[in-house]
Chains A and B, each alone.
Chain A
Amino acid sequence: MDVFYSALSEFRRRKFEDCINHCTQILEKSPYDQAAWTLKMKALTAQVMVDDIEVEEEGIADSVLNETMATTARPGTSFKNPTVLQSLALGAQRPKTNTGRPVSGVVRPGTIGSRGTLEQALRTPRSASSARPATAQSGRAIRLGTASMLTQSEGPFIQLSRLNLAKYASTKAVSKPLFQYIFYHENDILRAMDLVVEAMKVCDQKDWWWRLQHGKCYYIFGMMRDAETELRAALKLLPTLEVFLWLTRIYIRLDQPVTALDLCRTALQIFKDEVTLLTDIARIFEGINNIPLSVKYYREILHQDAMNVEAVACIAVHYFYSDQPELALRFYRRLLQMGVYNAELFNNLGLCCFYAQQYDMVVSCFERALSLAENENAADVWYNISHIAIGVCDLALAEQCIRLALSIDSSHAAACNNLAVLEYLNENTSVSFSLLQAASSVAPSLFELHFNRALLTEMVGDYHTSYTVVQKSIEVHPGHTDSHRLLKNLKTFFSYL
Chain B
Amino acid sequence: MSLFKVKDQWLTTCGQDETFDASSLAVADLNGKGSDQIIVGSHSGYLRVYECVAENSAEIEYTPACLLIETYLEQPILQVAAGRLTSGIKERHIAILHPYKVAVYALSIIEGTVEHGTETRLVLMYDHVLLKSTYQLIVGPFGSVRDRDFLCVQSLDGVLLFFEQETFVLNRSLPTFLLPSPICYVPQTDSFIVFNAEWTLESYSYQALGDSSDRKLNPSWRYNLGEPILDIQNLIMNMRESAIFVLGERNLFCFSEVGLMRFMKRLQFTPMCFHPYFIAEGEKLMVLVVSDTETVLVYEKTVLRWSAHLSLSPVAISRVNFKALKGLIAVLSESGELRCGVLGTEPSLFVAPPLKTKSATHQQNETKLKQLKEEIKYHASAGADLRNSSSTSTDSELKALYKCVLNSDENTCQILLELSTKSSLSDIQISYEATPPICFHAPVQKLPILCDKTMIENQVVLDYNYDIAVPSSCELLVFISYFNSSGLPKVLRQSTNVPDQFIFDSFFSANDASQKTPGVSTIGNLLSVTLNAAQSIALPILFSEFVNDRWEAAGCTDSRVDFMIRSPTGDETPLRFTVSLEEGAKYKIESNSTACLSLGARSLVERYQRHLLSKKLSRSHSGNQPLTYMSHLPVDSFLKVVDKYHGLVTRQKDLETELAELTCQSRAVQKRLLIKLKDKKIDSLRSLESLHEDTHWSILKLSREVETLQQAVKGCSSELHGFLGLLIFLLSLTPHISDEELKDFELATSSTFYNSESQNWLDVTYSALQYILQKSEKSDTFVAKPFENIEEFKQILMQAINRLSKGIAHQILEEQRGVFPILETDNEEELADETSLTAQKPFNSQATGVMKLSPVAETTQPNSLDEIFF
Task: State A5–B22 Cα separation when bound (angstroms).
Answer: 13
A38, B179: Cβ atoms under 8 Å?
yes
Q: Which residue of B180, B854, B858, B867 is within 8 Å of A380 (Cβ)?
A: B867
Task: State A304–B307 Cα separation when bound (angstroms).
Answer: 13
A42 at the A/B interface (Cβ < 8 Å)?
yes
Task: State A135–B43 Cα separation when bound (angstroms).
Answer: 50
A422 at the A/B interface (Cβ < 8 Å)?
yes
Q: Which residue of A107, A208, A273, A338 is within 8 Å of B3 (Cβ)?
A: A338
With A320-B868, A368-B352, A455-B860 known to touch, is A304 a contact of B303 (CB < 8 Å)?
yes
B228 at the A/B interface (Cβ < 8 Å)?
yes
A5: which B residues are within 8 A, CB to CB?
A: 78, 99, 133, 135, 156
Q: Which of B438-493 contact A (CB under 8 A)?
A: none
Q: Which of B835-870 contact A (CB under 8 A)?
A: 847-848, 850-851, 854, 856, 858-870
B226: which A residues are within 8 A, CB to CB?
A: 208-209, 212, 240, 242
Binds A, one of B263-271, B516-524, B543-551: B263-271
B304 at the A/B interface (Cβ < 8 Å)?
yes
Interface size on B, residues (CB 8 A): 71
With A14-B292, A173-B177 known to touch, is A421 a contact of B860 (CB < 8 Å)?
yes
Task: State A347–B866 Cα separation when bound (angstroms).
Answer: 11
A442 at the A/B interface (Cβ < 8 Å)?
no
B355, A103: Cβ atoms under 8 Å?
no
Q: Which of A236-276 contact B (CB under 8 A)?
A: 238, 240-242, 245, 271-276
With A13-B334, A207-B224 known to touch, is A305 a contact of B868 (CB < 8 Å)?
no
B198, A173: Cβ atoms under 8 Å?
yes
A458 at the A/B interface (Cβ < 8 Å)?
yes
Report A353-395 CB contacts with B as 1/0, cut-off 8 Å.
Answer: 0000000000010011001000001001001100100100000
A418 at the A/B interface (Cβ < 8 Å)?
yes
Task: State A424–B858 Cα separation when bound (angstroms).
Answer: 13
Closest chain B residue to A104, Cβ basis: B870
B178 at the A/B interface (Cβ < 8 Å)?
yes
B862: which A residues are within 8 A, CB to CB?
A: 390, 418, 421-422
B177, B867, B870: residue with the most chain A Cβ atoms closer than 10 Å: B870
Task: State A241–B869 Cα separation when bound (angstroms).
Answer: 31
B870, A105: Cβ atoms under 8 Å?
yes
- What is the minimal beta-carbon distance from A239 to any residue of chain B, in angstroms? 10
Q: Which of B195-246 contact A (CB under 8 A)?
A: 196-199, 224, 226, 228, 230
B867, A275: Cβ atoms under 8 Å?
no
B302, A272: Cβ atoms under 8 Å?
yes
- What is the minimal beta-carbon distance from B782 to any residue of chain A, in angstroms? 17
Task: State A455–B178 Cα separation when bound (angstroms).
Answer: 74
Binds B, one of A75-83, A140-148, A162-170, A306-314: A306-314
With A8-B179, A384-B866 known to touch, is A341 a contact of B352 (CB < 8 Å)?
yes
B118 at the A/B interface (Cβ < 8 Å)?
no
Q: Which of B760-779 contact A (CB under 8 A)?
A: none
Q: Which residue of A317, A339, A448 is within 8 Å of B863 (Cβ)?
A: A448
Q: Which residue of A173, A341, A417 is within 8 Å of B178 (Cβ)?
A: A173
Q: Which residue of B228, B268, B864 is within 8 Å of A387 (Cβ)?
A: B864
A122 at the A/B interface (Cβ < 8 Å)?
no
A35 at the A/B interface (Cβ < 8 Å)?
yes
B302, A274: Cβ atoms under 8 Å?
yes
Closest chain A residue to B348, Cβ basis: A339
A208: which B residues are within 8 A, CB to CB?
A: 224, 226
Task: State A51–B227 Cα separation when bound (angstroms).
Answer: 12
B865, A95: Cβ atoms under 8 Å?
yes
A28 at the A/B interface (Cβ < 8 Å)?
no
- What is the minimal beta-carbon distance from A390 to any residue of chain B, in angstroms? 6
B376 at the A/B interface (Cβ < 8 Å)?
yes
Q: Which residue of B177, B180, B870 is within 8 Å of A317 (Cβ)?
A: B870
A461: which B residues are within 8 A, CB to CB?
A: 848, 851
- What is the minimal beta-carbon distance from B195 to any residue of chain A, in angstroms? 12
Q: Which residue of B3, B135, B349, B868 is within 8 Å of A8 (Cβ)?
A: B135
Q: Which of B266-316 contact A (CB under 8 A)?
A: 266, 268, 270, 272, 292, 297, 302-304, 307, 315
B176 at the A/B interface (Cβ < 8 Å)?
yes
A154 at the A/B interface (Cβ < 8 Å)?
no
- What is the minimal beta-carbon distance from B447 to any residue of chain A, in angstroms? 30
A176 at the A/B interface (Cβ < 8 Å)?
yes
Q: Which of A450-497 contact B (CB under 8 A)?
A: 452, 455-456, 458-459, 461, 463, 482, 486, 493, 496-497
Dominant secondary structure at the B interface: loop
B350 at the A/B interface (Cβ < 8 Å)?
yes
B348: which A residues are within 8 A, CB to CB?
A: 339
A106 at the A/B interface (Cβ < 8 Å)?
yes
- What is the minimal beta-carbon distance from B137 to any residue of chain A, in angstroms? 13
A161 at the A/B interface (Cβ < 8 Å)?
no
- What is the minimal beta-carbon distance from B217 to any residue of chain A, in angstroms? 15
B268: which A residues are within 8 A, CB to CB?
A: 275-276
B22, B264, B270, B862: residue with the most chain A Cβ atoms closer than 10 Å: B862
B823 at the A/B interface (Cβ < 8 Å)?
no
A13, B350: Cβ atoms under 8 Å?
no
A106, B870: Cβ atoms under 8 Å?
yes
- What is the minimal beta-carbon distance from A357 to any residue of chain B, in angstroms? 15
B230, A12: Cβ atoms under 8 Å?
yes
Closest chain B residue to A436, Cβ basis: B860
- What is the minimal beta-carbon distance from B489 to any residue of chain A, in angstroms? 19
Q: Which of B339-396 contact A (CB under 8 A)?
A: 347-350, 352, 355, 373, 376
B1 at the A/B interface (Cβ < 8 Å)?
yes
B807 at the A/B interface (Cβ < 8 Å)?
no
- What is the minimal beta-carbon distance from A221 to any residue of chain B, in angstroms? 15
A339, B197: Cβ atoms under 8 Å?
no
B865, A448: Cβ atoms under 8 Å?
yes
Q: Which residue of A95, A173, A176 is within 8 Å of B866 (Cβ)?
A: A95
A55 at the A/B interface (Cβ < 8 Å)?
no
Q: Which of A397-448 contact B (CB under 8 A)?
A: 400, 414, 417-418, 421-422, 424, 446, 448
B865, A313: Cβ atoms under 8 Å?
no
B555 at the A/B interface (Cβ < 8 Å)?
no
With A173-B176, A276-B268, A422-B862 known to touch, is A345 a contact of B870 (CB < 8 Å)?
yes
- What is the minimal beta-carbon distance from B356 to any residue of chain A, in angstroms? 8
Report A195-216 CB contacts with B as 1/0, cut-off 8 Å.
Answer: 0000000000001110010000
Task: State A309–B176 Cα separation when bound (angstroms).
Answer: 42
A274, B265: Cβ atoms under 8 Å?
yes
Task: State A245–B292 Cα separation when bound (angstroms).
Answer: 23
A351 at the A/B interface (Cβ < 8 Å)?
yes
Task: State A174–B197 Cα separation when bound (angstroms).
Answer: 8
Task: State A4–B303 Cα separation when bound (angstroms).
Answer: 38
A4: which B residues are within 8 A, CB to CB?
A: 133, 156
Closest chain B residue to A458, Cβ basis: B856
A364: which B residues are within 8 A, CB to CB?
A: 355
Task: State A280–B265 Cα separation when bound (angstroms).
Answer: 15
Task: State A396–B373 Cα separation when bound (angstroms).
Answer: 9
- What is the minimal beta-carbon distance from B771 to any residue of chain A, in angstroms? 21
B99: which A residues are within 8 A, CB to CB?
A: 1-2, 5
B530 at the A/B interface (Cβ < 8 Å)?
no
With A51-B250, A173-B177, A274-B265 known to touch, is A380 a contact of B869 (CB < 8 Å)?
yes
Can you give 28 contacting A-B residue pairs, CB < 8 Å? A2-B99, A2-B156, A5-B133, A9-B19, A9-B21, A12-B315, A172-B197, A208-B224, A241-B251, A271-B263, A273-B303, A274-B302, A276-B268, A307-B2, A309-B1, A337-B350, A339-B1, A339-B2, A339-B350, A340-B1, A341-B352, A347-B868, A347-B869, A390-B862, A400-B376, A414-B867, A459-B856, A497-B847
Beyond the given A4-B156, A176-B197, A336-B350, could you list 4 further A-B residue pairs with CB under 8 A, ordered by the A residue number? A103-B867, A303-B303, A380-B867, A452-B860
Residues on A lying within 8 angstroms of B by beta carbon are: 1-2, 4-5, 8-9, 12-14, 34-35, 38-39, 42, 51, 95, 103-107, 172-174, 176, 207-209, 212, 238, 240-242, 245, 271-276, 303-307, 309, 313, 317, 320, 334, 336-341, 344-345, 347-348, 351, 364, 367-368, 371, 377, 380, 383-384, 387, 390, 396, 400, 414, 417-418, 421-422, 424, 446, 448, 452, 455-456, 458-459, 461, 463, 482, 486, 493, 496-497
